[in-house]
Structure formats: structure tokens, C-alpha cells
Amino acid sequence: MTQRTRNLLLLAPAGTWFLVMLVVPLTVVLVFSFGERGAAGGYVPAFTLEQYANLPARWAAFKNTLILAPVGTVAALLIAYPLAYYLAVRANPKWKTLLLVLVIVPFWTSILIRSYAWIFLLGGRGIPALLELIGIEGVRLINTPFAVLVGIVYGYLPLMVFPIFVTLDRLDKRLLEASSDLGATRLRTFLQVTLPLSIPGIATGSLLVFILLMGEYLIPALLGGGKVFFVGNALVDLFLQSRNWAFGSAVAATLVIIMLVTVTIYMRLISKLGAQREDVSLM
Amino acid sequence: MRLYSIFVYLFLYIPIGVIAIFSFNAGRHASQFQGFSTQWYGKALNNPFVMDALQTSLTVAFFAALFASVFGTMAAVALQGIKGPVRTVFDGLIYIAVMIPGIVIGIATLIGLVTLFDLLNPAIAALWPEGVTAPKLSMGMGSLIAAHTMFTMALVVIIVRARLAGMDRSLTEASSDLYATPMGTFRQVTLPMILPGVLAGFLLSFTFSFDDFIIAFFVAGSETTLPIYVFSSIRRGVTPEINAIGTMVLAASLILLVTAQILLRRGEKKKT
């Protein structure tokens, strides 16, 4: 057996699996998106652009996603950056690894349980009840865009901290010393040295969070209470309640296309900024 | 700066802590602490729906992690020695598997498999002898395992490839120069070096599958996994029993994660 045959044999199970469980299903989605809805739900073969023409019917879901995904990404970035900076530059090296692990660990635990915790905290007997004790009454937090935003930041903060930490940690600290030796203020050093050099980390973190947010379902479902819904919620409704497979496929295909386009434009912008994308893994 | 970091850690851990504390609440009300009790753990562990869901989740997670780590490792090893279109296609597939949102993977698997089964079931029925009920393919445990394997396999390939990339190539070359068979080289040189990565991949795949809600929501058929059970109970209202289940799930993932980390670290040390 030649080496090439052996390698191909080793690839065969994974290849078959990807073919049957990834390539075929995604192709079916694309094909169905040009089809028609059956009388009892499901799919009837056809070739029509009707489903795509019908997309404005779900405009609200797309609008919410396209607003809250970027806003959530920026909010996570703003909260994550100072922490990543502290961990990489200021924290005691002895504790650095432990502190970093403490940030990442929640990400690998159930997002369902972690979002559920916020139903608990933001619900009527959680934070609003505490606020009443100090005289602030009538605050409603659960089932608002704010609650969804809190859930998003809480859920994806670790994913943002990690890549930024990695770039800041690798940054040559002598550059910072040189900058201050040359009379730059701390702020100026940060704006002209640290921040530009950490762009690859910012880019990777934002990209990861943004991609996950575009397909989010759980957080708006649990914390938005049906009032704040994403494309993901529309998809669950279309596939599991109204069983409109053709239209649902068109919505799913559109979501993926929007994602690919925004991600491509974003990567172009980042590489124009002169930064190179660094691959960082989460473990 | 330091104060700020402390606040972020509080933000990260207070919600988890609150759930854990209230899971020991003696009272029925979810939000007023009325004394210490472990009764909700007992309730949860004696609830047949919870135990069924737990068993389904554990079975699915075990087989998905097993298939993913075996086939993923095989693919990662093979990709080391392959160039050209096959490699490009594989890189593309892994990229797609990781990039496409879980919800789209779930939907695609649902309608893809239902369509496939609709095509295959009459054929199977036709092949079966007259008078005997033919088996019918449907969504359930099998589709859950298959879907989770697909996604986690991509993760395993990424993790194991990272390990292989850090491996000294001259070792495998030396081994074959010394007339070891390819299988011997793999067993005695490559495998011991990538094993921590493979085991970490297994544990991460297990955690991912065990915690996954969105893909399972679409492909579970009539099966109920633990996250699906928890999700539907949350919709019916917050109870201390969910807090107890949540605390146990979090604790279990923490144990698996710490193990995976230790394995990866140990491998890291061996390498240098």
C-alpha cells in the first residue's frame, strides 16, 4: 500500500461523515430555498425566487440581529479590553495563568444554564427587587433589549478576552518602556503603541463573537421573552412550528450569505489597517 | 484597573454562584432563601424525566466524542502527508463546519436527513421480505450522534493538527530509517506524542455534545437530551430543581475541562 492510498483511507471516514452530515444537508437547504411550501408544511419541489422575495416578512428579525450582533460585539470588546490589558501587562505573572483560565472556563460550560442564571437575576425578584429596597421602583429588566445585551456580553466575554490577551501578552514590553523614555505620556503610549499592536487580537475576538451572535437563538429566547428576537428565533419558528421549510431555508441561506459578506468586508478592512490575522485557539 | 478586573470577575461568577446557592434552598420559592437543604438534588435525581434525559445526553456525548476523536485523529494524521486538492477540500470543510452557525447546521441536518430517510425508507421496505415489518430510519439517537460527531470532529482535527505541527518531524523519519513499519512508527512515535491532544479533543467533544442545545433541538426527533429538558422546564417557570440540575451540569463540565487542560499542559511540557 502506498503512502497516498493509506492517507486517503485514513481520511475516508471523516470525509464521508462531512459529506453526509454537512455537504448534503447544506445543499438541501440551498435547493429547498428555491422550492415551495407543501399544503401540510414541508417542501414541494419547484424553482422559484418567491421565498427570497418574501424575506421582508421577517425583516424585524434581520433588523434586530444586524443591530444587536454588532452592538453586542462592541460592548463585549469594551468590557473585555481593559481586563485583557490588565491580565497581560499589569497582573502578577505568578497569577496570570490562573486568572486567564478563570475567564475562559465559563465559556466551556453550558450557555443554557448561564443564560438561565440571568432570568433569575434580572427577573422581578432579582435585581429589580434589590433596587426597590433602595427606593428605585418599577424597573423592568427581563424581556428587554438590555437583558439580551447583558446575556450576550456575559455569554461571549471570555471569547473576546482570550485573543486580545494573547496579542498583548506577546507584545514586547520594551516598546512601552522606550515610548515612556522618549517622553510619551501613558495615554499616548497606549494610543500609539499598545492599541495598534493589539489590533489582531481585537479583530479575532470580534470576529468570533460576531459570528456566534449572528446565529444566536438561546439568549434572545430566554432573556428577550419573544419581544427581542433574532433570525435564529425566526428559524426555530419556521422549522419547528409552522413547518415552512422552503421559506425557512431561504432565511437560513440569507443569514449565511450576510455573514460571509460582512466577515469578508471586515477581514479586508482589518488587513488594510496593516494588521495580520493571527490564529489563536481557545485552549 | 485592578478594581475593574475584580468587578468583571464578579460579573462572570456571581450568576453561577447565585444558581449554586439557590440550589440548596429549602423553600419552594426560587428567589427567597429559606434555609439549607439538599432536597432539590434528591428531587432532580429521582425525576425519571431528568434521568432519561441525562442518560440520552451521556450516551450521545460518549459516542459522538468517541467517533469524533478516532476519525478526527485519523484525518489529522493523514492531512500531514497530503497536499493538493484533497487537502484544500478538507480545509474548506473544516472551515465551513466551524463557521456556519449551529442553528443552520441543526436545520440543515434536520431537513437533509428527513429527505434522505424519505428516499431510503421505501427502498429498505422493498428489500425486506414480505410480512416482516421493515426497519424505518427516523430522527433520534442516531441523528444526534451523527450531527454532534460532524461538528466535534472538526474541532478534534484542529486540535490534533496543532499538536502534530509542533512535533519534531525528524523523529518519524528516524523511526522509518530504523525500519519501523508505518504502523509501528504511528504506534510508538506519533501516537504517544499526540495522545494528550487526542484525549483533550475527546473531553472537549464530550463537553460540547453534552452542553449542546441548538443542534439537538432540531435533530433529536422524539428523544430528549438534558439541555432540551432544561430549556422546556425553564419555559414553564424557574424552579429550585433546575438550579440543582444546572449546578450539577456546571460542576461536571468544570471537572472535564480541568482534566482536558491538565492533559494539554502535560503534553506541552513533554514536547519541549
ipTM for the assembly: 0.88
Interface contact B18, partner A, CB < 8 A: yes
State the pLDDT at residue A276. 46
State the pLDDT at residue B268. 64
- The band of A275, judged by pLDDT with boundaries at 50, 70 and 90, is very low
Q: B111–A25: do the CB atoms touch at under 8 Å?
A: yes
Instruction: Taking residues A164-188, report their average pLDDT.
Output: 88
Residue A281 predicted with pLDDT over 60:
no
A184: cell is: 510619551
More confident residue, A275 or A177: A177
State the pLDDT at residue B127. 86
Give A244's strand partners: A42
Interface contact A129, partner B, CB < 8 A: yes
* Backbone CA torsion sign across A113, A116, A121, A126: negative
> Chain A 78-117, CB below 8 Å of chain B: which residues?
79, 82-83, 85-87, 90-91, 99, 101-103, 105-106, 108-114, 116-117
Q: Tell me which residue of A157, A151, A142 sits closest to A102, measured CA to CA.
A: A157
Residue of A nearest to B103 (CA): A215
Interface contact A62, partner B, CB < 8 A: no
Q: Can you give the length of chain B in residues?
A: 272
Interface contact A24, partner B, CB < 8 A: yes
* Backbone CA torsion sign across A129, A133, A139, A145: negative
More confident residue, B140 or B183: B140
Q: What is the pLDDT of residues A66-123, one digit of tens each?
A: 999 999 999 999 999 999 999 998 888 888 888 998 898 888 888 999 999 999 889 8
SS3 content of chain A, % helix, strand, coil (to 5): 75, 0, 25
Give me the residue from A7, A90, A125 closest to B31, CB to CB: A125
Task: Please state which CATH class domain A58-272 belongs to.
Answer: mainly alpha
Measured in angstroms, the CA of A259 and the nearest CA of chain B are apart by 9
Residue B66 predicted with pLDDT over 90:
yes
Residue B214 predicted with pLDDT over 90:
yes
- The band of A280, judged by pLDDT with boundaries at 50, 70 and 90, is very low
- What does pLDDT average to over chain B? 88
- What does pLDDT average to over chain A? 89
Q: State what percent of residues in chain A have pLDDT above 90.
A: 55
Helix (H, G, I), strand (E, B) or coil at A37: strand
State the pLDDT at residue A277. 41
Q: A14–B200: do the CB atoms touch at under 8 Å?
A: no
pTM score, whole prediction: 0.89
Interface contact B133, partner A, CB < 8 A: no
Q: Tell me which residue of B15, B236, B181, B124 sits closest to A153, measured CA to CA.
A: B15
The domain locations on chain A are 58-272
- Number of Cβ within 10 Å of residue A181's Cβ equals 9
Residue of A nearest to B146 (CA): A21
How far apart, in whole angstroms, are the C-alpha atoms of residue B260 and residue B198?
10
Residue B272 predicted with pLDDT over 50:
no
Instruction: Taking residues B3-9, report their average pLDDT.
Output: 93
Is the distance from CB of B100 to CB of A256 less than 8 angstroms?
yes
- Number of Cβ within 10 Å of residue A245's Cβ equals 28
State the pLDDT at residue A51. 92
Q: Tell me which residue of B42, B75, B68, B103 sits closest to A25, measured CA to CA.
A: B103
Is the distance from CB of B37 to CB of B46 less than 8 angstroms?
no
Instruction: Taking residues A47-54, report their average pLDDT.
Output: 92
Q: What is the pLDDT of residues A116-173, one digit of tens each?
A: 999 988 987 778 888 888 888 777 888 899 999 999 999 999 999 999 999 999 888 8
Q: What is the pLDDT of residues A209-237, one digit of tens each?
A: 999 999 999 999 999 987 889 999 999 99
CATH superfamily, domain B50-271, is MetI-like (1.10.3720.10)
A138: cell is: 418599577
Nearby residues of A71 by Cβ (< 8 Å), 6 or more positions away: A149
Instruction: Taking residues A250-272, report their average pLDDT.
Output: 91
Residues of chain A contacting residue B92, judged by C-beta atoms under 8 Å apart: none
Residue with cell 460518549: B62
B114: cell is: 428527513
Q: What is the pLDDT of residues B124-150, one digit of tens each?
A: 888 888 777 778 889 999 999 999 999
How far apart, in whole angstroms, are the C-alpha atoms of residue A84 and residue A91?
10
State the pLDDT at residue B197. 87
Interface contact A152, partner B, CB < 8 A: no
Q: State what percent of residues in chain B have pLDDT above 90.
A: 51
Least confident window among A104-118, B30-44, B155-169, B221-235: B30-44
Interface contact A255, partner B, CB < 8 A: yes
State the pLDDT at residue B180. 83
Is the distance from CB of B109 to CB of B241 less than 8 angstroms?
no
Q: In angstroms, what is the C-alpha Rg of chain B?
A: 23
Give me the residue from A7, A25, A217 closest to B109, CB to CB: A25
Is the distance from CB of A214 to CB of A259 less than 8 angstroms?
yes
The domain locations on chain B are 50-271
